[in-house]
Structure 1
Amino acid sequence: MTPAPDKKQDRRPPYQHAADELRRDIKQGRVKPGEQMPSVRELQERFGVANMTARSALNVLRDEGLIYTIHGRGSFVADVGEAAGEFKIEYTPPAWYLANDSEAKSEGQAGEGEPNAEAAGTSLAELLTSLRDEIRTLSAEHQELRREVEELKKAQQPPRS
């Protein structure tokens, strides 16, 4: 005869369990805004999970806006306002989102000057074109800077005898 389990088994995936624990730590103030989150290795040890599982837990929190990541530095708690989920950062949704937002239309926020789907598509196409052009410009500047760095490196090397 096997003994009855003391607790109901947690059926959530391990990354969700880890994300829930970390979310609770943030909401209860154990980890304050601006403080660094534990590293992936520390999360692996704390929860007894694999590397990708720990990363997935951090991705869940990042997608929720509770943390942000700085490449090469780690993950940090975002600055969340007094009300749960209310951020102190001012945010304005993009125009194409507002043009296609069914909630705004149903609440009567859209008036006679409401952009139609065709106009929203045109402005979105224009936005994408300008972004593509900006990326090309930045890419060209990046290549130029790389050439300059290579030239400076060559100039600093002592002449070969």
Structure 2
Amino acid sequence: RTKSNGQQKLISPRVSSALTQPEQTRSPRSSSTSRDMKSSGNSPSIPMPKIGGNSSLLSQFGMTPISHSDPSITLHSTNSVELQFQICKMVDFSFDLTYHQTLSDLSSRTPLNNLNQRLNASDYVTIKPNGGFNVIFALNLPKPGVYTFTIYAATINPRNDVQLKTNGHTDLPAVYTYLLRYV
């Protein structure tokens, strides 16, 4: 079942009992600073994340992109895309959808204020379990432009506790980031 903060827990047949904490991009949901900035409307420009998958973490979490192995996707005449992953472990998901600019903004090369916006992902993204070994992230983009969709994940121990914890907050490492162009 989907939680209101955009996280999803899925159970699959194999469970990992150990998880090392790699130095990777972490879910901004865990940071009180980013929550405070988002709620106050004074968020600074959001940098473009590294596009593609973290092969080490994908392997560690038993995740494989099935539908779109190329991290750069162009959508023509539709605002919808379903990103399907195979999963082989119990995984806790979180995700972010960020609107970076319109395609015309890219061609003009004119610097614009507040160009990048982190969207409320739960308004535009649905997680659909698809059997015991697959999960689908269904995205409906609100307007034409350039987006990044980042999937964060961590394995769950048998008590259903997320295994990565820092300063009392759960930090999920980024495992895959897609660059989406909706034209």
Task: Name the TM tier (shorter chain).
Answer: under 0.3
Bigger radius of gyration among the two = 1
More strand by percentage: 2
- Provide TM-score, normalisation by structure 2: 0.18
More helix by percentage: 1
